[in-house]
Structure 1
Amino acid sequence: MRKRRLFLLLLIVSLMLSMLTPVGAAAAADSGKEPLAYTDTVKTAAEKATLLTKQYGTTSVQYALIDQGKIVVSGQAGKNDAAGKKPLTADTMYGIGSTSKMFTTAAVMQLVDAGRIDLDQPVVQYISDFTMKDERYKQITPRMLLNHSAGFAGSSLQNAFLLSDNDTYAHDTFLKQLSTQVLKADPGAFSVYCNDCFSLAEILVERVSGSGFTDYIHQHFTEPLGMTNTGTPQDNLDESQMAALYVPSYRQQLPNETVNAIGTGGIYSTADDLARFSQIFTGQAADILSADAVKAMANAEYRNGLWPAEADNSIGYGLGWDSVDLFPFNDYGIQALAKGGDTVLYHASLIVLPEQNMAAAVLSSGGSSSFNQLLAAQILLQALKEQGTIDAIKPDKSYGAPVTADMPKELLDAAGHYGSSTQLLTVGVTADGQLSLTTPMDPSYPAEKYTYSSDGSFINANGSAKINLVKESNGRTYLWVRQYAQVPGLGQLAISEYAAEKLPTNEVSEETLAAWNERDGKRYYIVNEKYTSIAFLASPSAQVLLFDDVPGYVLSQRMTGPNTSVSDLQIPASGGRDNGPVQFFKQDGVEYLLTGSNLYISQDALKPIYSGKHARVTIPTNGNSKWYTIPDKAAGKTMSVKLPSAGSYAVYDENGSLVTFSVIHADDSIVLPKNGTIVFTGAAGAKFDLTLS
């Protein structure tokens, strides 16, 4: 587990300058409005897109605005290869990540329209071989899949993210993976972001329709809407049409990122095509989805379960949608529907204004969906202003400086340790109304400070964030964070969520504590990802870190025995996502770590790579990867590898940073770094012949 900064801070990454290639398209609306050239909107879109490439870690960006069924703004910024020779065009395709979930949702709702699916009947009525080690799974309904409230523990994505490899393993084994799992919450109790919900919804569409998912979306969406540049890995997409991918540690272009969990994140498209897709939700493609279905998707589903009180927000789930009342459009009395998507390397955002028959889509290589959403919002606001729908773009918001007041003494009891899936926080509260946030994960980082204010919340000095300590009806205490996160040049993201939950004391036996203390600081290396997995781009390892201040816990997971830990968190939205149980076990004297579908081997099992002239590595019959350390005798030597047809190797330095990955680099030799590691991975029985010189 890597150390992370506090969640209230927005990390802005600056990368190399990129070249702007804007393309503006003007069209007249046909709804009685005066024809508009959208001159100001074209300019704003180009300027803000350029900003993404210059300051926010984006290699390239593509955007489109549709108004009354016509694409009126379309453009690109950045570059599509390191030399700048391959042009970006409106036809350049990007992975849209979780924006794919809108296709899955629309497919389910089509089958609802046809009377073939009932949103509130158990899923097992449609998928008879869906089973889990938790009888509550029988209560899960299609609605719970689409509003993220099924209660699944995490994301079953083994071999889902590959490089130039459309292997269907993730889809084909998905039900088998679920069959070994238990739920982390009662179905319907609250909505917490869930990839597995949509992988199961994909299978639901296939079982009910009798069609493969890729064929279904082409027949029912891409062909009727003229989306000629939209597809899935199963279409054997032309990689030369894809936006180029890079990571900071490599100058060389990467192979295409192939996401094989299609219903949850594996569709590829263009901004223009996503704009065309949006017509389903503005009533201009009524023959595809009924008005009732579109309206149902835009209902505030998040209110069905545990959720903070209403506030400006970027998250508020509908069916499929991340938000059904997106900030800042709610300040103008305009409903905005939004869905974002992030793979490892691609990012996407779609914002739809149903009542205005408008939408904007922004796709990128590098960056983040949050930045793309801000750009899409800027484009829409400028267009609304230019057409006279709004008078002006409103100034940024703030909670104002705290107005000090006497703090209720009972809030002192809310101090303590709080956890989420990725954070461990210490909340301090003093009698004079001061709240501090620190983290054992980074003790050198200065405390964030908040002052109790007359509105009953704690507010920071500049008024950008406020915190309440809320005891909910379920008896749990939550850290309720509201924030206007300023992104210079792009506007504000509004955040309102239960960001963490107070952790109760967890007394453990001496045996349990001793077993976990023995693992403290150790690394475990993944062994069950395919040789083309994108996991090998970064050091594919997990580290066990314990903190003396929070005994009985591994991050926010409660130790339940010498070899097991579980998450008891009941946090809606994102704070409780992907937090399944952890189990250690030994096989042939070697310790392994199993979490979700990922299997890791202990660093103690790693042997030094042979430092002589010749060696051979063979993948065992179980297909697990083989990891080695680099001893002093081998460091500095050049290793040449004769690769099998189904295999790869990767080398990492002593800090875990990638030195080479043979799926990316055609060169079959590498100088071995001191104190580094090597992984060989491939099909069972694959042989690697090594020469060191």
Structure 2
Amino acid sequence: MIYCLLPVSKAYGSIKPLPETTQEIDEEIVQNMQRFNIPGMAFVLADENGNVYVKGYGRNEWEGTEIVDPTTNFQIGSISKVFTSLAIMQLRDKGLVELDAPVTQYLPWFATKETSLSARITIRDLLNHTSGLPGRLNTHDVEGSDPDHIASQIERKLQNVQLVASPGTTYEYTNMNYDLLQLLLEKVTKQPFPNYMSQHVFQPLGMNRTVYSFGDILPNSATGHRYIWGNVRPFHEQLSYATLGSAGLTTSAEDFGKYISFLLGSSSEGNPSVLRSESLLEMHKSDIYDQSTGYGFGWEVSANTIEKKGGLPGFTSNLIVFPNRSYGFALLSNSKQNITDDTNYNISRILEGNPPSHLSKQDSPAINPVNKGILMISTLFAIIVPIMWIPTLLSWLSRKSRFSFKKPTLPTILVCWVLNGLMLIGVLYYIYSYIPYESGTPSLYQLTTAPDTVNGLTILSVTYLLFSISLACKPLLRRSTIVPREL
């Protein structure tokens, strides 16, 4: 399956010319797909004039027959944010919003527990993830598509939320920032978010297959996959409407190339029908720095690149642009694996004329290390419990002993029941309350997006419960020897 577009006759900076480069890229992608069981991938290399090379690899579904081509749609997760930020900049250029105005100017209901602090959060803070809202916040469980109904649910979510820092001072990545920007855009434009984005961003750029994953799925769309206990399985997830601004976009490699060309055109005349070149350049300047990498308007910014990664339970994607070298590329995968990031890194090396790094399967294990740990602990409890009861069971089966439960003494109650009960409550609280709280997702959402982890935690809960009951009951067991009757 080879899909070549425009032949290339020149190199960009230190980038090696086609076809040698594309052959190395093909080999790197195909090799990693085979080694790491990735069903399908798509790649595009583009410059300011258009797509230089675009290709699909593998299949839309693990056991399917439909092949991936340049027009196959993939979900791109958090890369959706850079399109949302572009739309906000459009509104700024039209005089409809001010970046340094408080969010409450456009969403009067917006408030956290400390209303005086949240009142200082600006649109720029949302764009740069400096609002102070905790990273765990998201809208996965928010229902419906009516903006007012969504707003009322988010308002309730924020009522007891404490900011992790004063607005504008600290970088704290959270999807909630861009979910709020989605609501803000709908409030200002009086249009549904997908409609505005299609009319003012995607259609002017010719991105005809770029849509939001809400409702009907376009033909030739890839199915997401993930490892479940070491096996690749199709994974279907329906995102809520409230998450479209932060993670809901689907696009193809071919459309991604058009977007890369638009970004690179900012150094010349750009595309003023979408965004002024000055505003586009402003988006690519970092406002927040973390060591060698900065962040601004949805982008991770370094000295030589602007890039963004996206991930959902069944997809991973990477977008990287080299403005100084006048090229960029995107890599899309219908599998949730870290190997996509590593492949992306190796493609960058190939384009710079360097050999790719060796990728070990240990770097992308089929079974999540956390899940492996859960299984090991569960197995340990599953072994200990029978060992605790086997002597008692054998003695009872041999009819040499009779067993009954004695009345517990106060020390026994305190040590075996109260202390053990508190430990059990603590373990169950950690599994079913603390973990969902820290991850920002309700237990039901985790059940659908990480079934192997949830199944593992369920097994752990059951085995620990049996272990806990055994610890509590064993000291209360009274054994008496059965004396044989004389004939």
Same fold (TM over 0.5): yes
Structure 2 unaligned residues grouped into runs of 5+: 358-375, 378-418, 466-487
- What is the Cα deviation at residue 59 of structure 1? 2.7
Paired position in structure 2 for 1:288: 274
In 1, Cα distance between equivalents of 2:9 and 2:190: 40
Kept in 1: contact 2:226–2:235 (CA 8 A): yes
In 1, Cα distance between equivalents of 2:38 and 2:145: 25
Paired position in structure 2 for 1:490: none
Paired position in structure 2 for 1:200: 180
Kept in 1: contact 2:235–2:313 (CA 8 A): no
**Aligned residue type for 1:360:** F
Q: Percent identity?
A: 22
Kept in 2: contact 1:153–1:184 (CA 8 A): yes
1:489-518 per-residue CA deviation (whole Å, 9 max, x = no partner) reads xxxxxxxxxxxxxxxxxxxxxxxx999756
1:596-617 per-residue CA deviation (whole Å, 9 max, x = no partner) reads 56379xxxxxxxxxxxxxxxxx
**Aligned residue type for 2:79:** T
Out of 186, 209, 214, which is 2:166 matched to?
Answer: 186
Flag the 1:131–1:65 CA change in 2: closer, same or farther, 3 A: same
Is 1:316 aligned with 2:285?
no
1:82-481 paired onto structure 2 within 5 Å:
82-135=62-115, 136-160=117-141, 173-234=153-214, 236-238=216-218, 241-249=221-229, 253-258=234-239, 260=241, 261-282=243-264, 283=266, 284-303=270-289, 307=290, 310-311=291-292, 315-321=293-299, 323-325=300-302, 330=303, 335-368=304-337, 371-380=339-348, 382-383=350-351, 385=352, 392-393=353-354
1:13-32 paired onto structure 2 within 5 Å:
21-28=1-8
Paired position in structure 1 for 2:403: none
Kept in 1: contact 2:48–2:260 (CA 8 A): no
- What is the Cα deviation at residue 393 of structure 1? 3.3
Paired position in structure 2 for 1:74: 54
Kept in 1: contact 2:12–2:327 (CA 8 A): no
1:411-437 per-residue CA deviation (whole Å, 9 max, x = no partner) reads xxxxxxxxxxxxxxxxxxxxxxxxxxx
1:76-126 per-residue CA deviation (whole Å, 9 max, x = no partner) reads 223333335221111211110000000111011111111222111111111
Flag the 1:597–1:71 CA change in 2: closer, same or farther, 3 A: closer
Flag the 1:243–1:29 CA change in 2: closer, same or farther, 3 A: farther
Whose strand proportion is higher, 1 or 2?
A: 1
Kept in 1: contact 2:139–2:176 (CA 8 A): no
Flag the 1:293–1:351 CA change in 2: closer, same or farther, 3 A: same
- What is the Cα deviation at residue 281 of structure 1? 2.1
Flag the 1:596–1:349 CA change in 2: closer, same or farther, 3 A: closer
Paired position in structure 1 for 2:406: none
**Aligned residue type for 1:140:** I
**Aligned residue type for 1:285:** N
In 2, Cα distance between equivalents of 1:286 and 1:68: 15
Paired position in structure 2 for 1:598: 442
- What is the Cα deviation at residue 29 of structure 1? 7.1
Query: Per the alignment, in what secondary structure is the counterpart of residue 111 of structure 1?
Result: helix
Kept in 1: contact 2:104–2:119 (CA 8 A): yes
**Aligned residue type for 2:322:** L
Flag the 1:656–1:240 CA change in 2: closer, same or farther, 3 A: farther
Kept in 2: contact 1:654–1:676 (CA 8 A): no
Paired position in structure 1 for 2:399: none
In 1, Cα distance between equivalents of 2:83 and 2:193: 10
**Aligned residue type for 2:333:** S
In 2, Cα distance between equivalents of 1:121 and 1:515: 52
In 1, Cα distance between equivalents of 2:306 and 2:452: 44
Query: Per the alignment, in what secondary structure is the counterpart of residue 241 of structure 1?
Result: coil
Alignment RMSD: 4.1
In 1, Cα distance between equivalents of 2:425 and 2:108: 41
Kept in 1: contact 2:311–2:336 (CA 8 A): no
In 2, Cα distance between equivalents of 1:265 and 1:653: 23
Kept in 2: contact 1:341–1:347 (CA 8 A): yes
Kept in 2: contact 1:214–1:234 (CA 8 A): no
Flag the 1:344–1:40 CA change in 2: closer, same or farther, 3 A: same
In 1, Cα distance between equivalents of 2:355 and 2:347: 14
In 2, Cα distance between equivalents of 1:176 and 1:103: 27
In 2, Cα distance between equivalents of 1:194 and 1:596: 10
Structure 1 unaligned residues grouped into runs of 5+: 1-20, 386-391, 397-441, 444-512, 526-540, 545-577, 581-594, 601-623, 628-646, 659-673, 678-693
The normalised TM-score by structure 1 is: 0.50
Kept in 2: contact 1:279–1:285 (CA 8 A): no
Flag the 1:286–1:173 CA change in 2: closer, same or farther, 3 A: same
Kept in 1: contact 2:141–2:442 (CA 8 A): no
Kept in 2: contact 1:95–1:266 (CA 8 A): yes
Q: How many residues matched?
A: 392
In 2, Cα distance between equivalents of 1:58 and 1:101: 25
- What is the Cα deviation at residue 542 of structure 1? 5.4
Paired position in structure 1 for 2:42: 62
Comparing both chains, which one has the higher relative contact order based on Cα–Cα distances under 8 Å and sequence gaps of 6 or more? 2
In 2, Cα distance between equivalents of 1:191 and 1:141: 14
Paired position in structure 2 for 1:44: 24
Greater radius of gyration (CA):
2
Flag the 1:259–1:268 CA change in 2: closer, same or farther, 3 A: farther
**Aligned residue type for 1:203:** L
In 2, Cα distance between equivalents of 1:88 and 1:395: 24
**Aligned residue type for 1:138:** A
